[in-house]
Amino acid sequence: MQKTERNWKGQVELFLVGEQIESFLNECIQDDISFVNVERKNVSHVQAIMNIPDVKKLRKIARNHPIKVSFGERKGMYLYNKRVLDVLDLSQVFSCSSSLLAFCHKWFGGWMLKELRRRSNMKYVYGHKIKFSTR
Amino acid sequence: MASISRKLRKLMTKSMQIPADVTLGLSRVTMIGHVHVYIENHRGILSFSSDNVQLRLSDGELLVTGKEMIIKAILPDELILEGQIDQVAHIHNKGEK
């Protein structure tokens, strides 16, 4: 579940070069920044993966530390969402999603009522109200 | 005052059989084979390399030694270590009774 969430938010590869990387990581963790696949390459070089929304917070902390932060490859659904939203207008997205919703409601709702009628052997099933026979 | 509350919590842990990591805030270390170590309630990293990881705990330090170790995930209260784990050692605080 956490992996899906991370993928949805988007991830970025992070390279930390300098001294006192541990204290920098501790400060980041205290500020609710989580890291994944933290790997020490050599004495002054650490590689990790972090969530894209936390980059701003990390930059703030990095200003107070003698550390060089550089970013690598980005991945995740976040980037695709952003690209799609950049291309499409918000009104277009709204009209498309509402028409899709209406289509689903008509076809899927109709099918559900049909199934309900078939399974319960009831004559009177109208919309979301179920009418029971009194006999 | 802090010592009184600590004693009270210890008493509660013993009498009500509540896990100590809940009442006293002690760390919980879970090992899966020699591949994974889950550490909960840690207080930060002291040193970190591919051969050993030293963590600060509420009641001391934890030293994990092994080979090709990476921190799979690090969260505010939780840390997951992955690699070939050889040894897990708990070092108590010197001043603790």
Whether pLDDT at A98 is above 50: yes
pLDDT score of A119: 72
A134 assigned to some structural domain = no
Q: Give the residue, B6 or A23, on which the prediction is more confident.
A: A23
pLDDT score of B90: 92
Both A76 and A15 in one domain: the answer is yes
Q: Which residues of chain A have a CB within 8 Å of the CB of B73?
A: 2, 34-36
Beta-carbon contacts of A29 under 8 Å, excluding residues fewer than 6 positions away, are A35, B44, B74, B75, B76
Average pLDDT value for chain A = 80
Angstroms from A70 CA to nearest CA on chain B: 19
Beta-carbon contacts of A109 under 8 Å, excluding residues fewer than 6 positions away, are none
CATH number of the domain where residue A51 is located: 3.30.70.260
Both A76 and A14 in one domain: the answer is yes
Domain that holds residue A98: 89-128
Domain B20-92: CATH class, spelled out: mainly beta
B78 touches chain A (CB under 8 A): no
Give ipTM to 2 decimals: 0.77
Both A18 and A69 in one domain: the answer is yes
Q: Confidence class of residue B97 from pLDDT cuts 50, 70 and 90?
A: very low
Whether pLDDT at A79 is above 60: yes
Domain residue extents for chain B? 20-92
Q: For A28-52, write each residue's pLDDT tens digit.
A: 999 999 999 999 988 889 999 999 8
Both A43 and A101 in one domain: the answer is no
Both A74 and A103 in one domain: the answer is no
Both A15 and A54 in one domain: the answer is yes
Gap between the Cα atoms of B10 and B5, Å rounded: 9
pLDDT score of B96: 52
Q: Give the residue, B25 or B97, on which the prediction is more confident.
A: B25
Angstroms from B47 CA to nearest CA on chain A: 6
A133 assigned to some structural domain = no
Q: Model's pTM, two decimal places?
A: 0.67
Q: Burial letters for B5-15: b for 16+ Cβ neighbours within 10 Å, e otherwise?
A: eeeebeeebee
Q: How many domains does chain A have?
A: 2
Q: Give mean pLDDT, residues A84-91.
A: 70
Q: Which residues of chain A have a CB within 8 Å of the CB of B40?
A: none
Both A99 and A37 in one domain: the answer is no
Mutant choice from A29, A31, A33, A49 vs B, greatest count of B C-beta within 10 A = A29
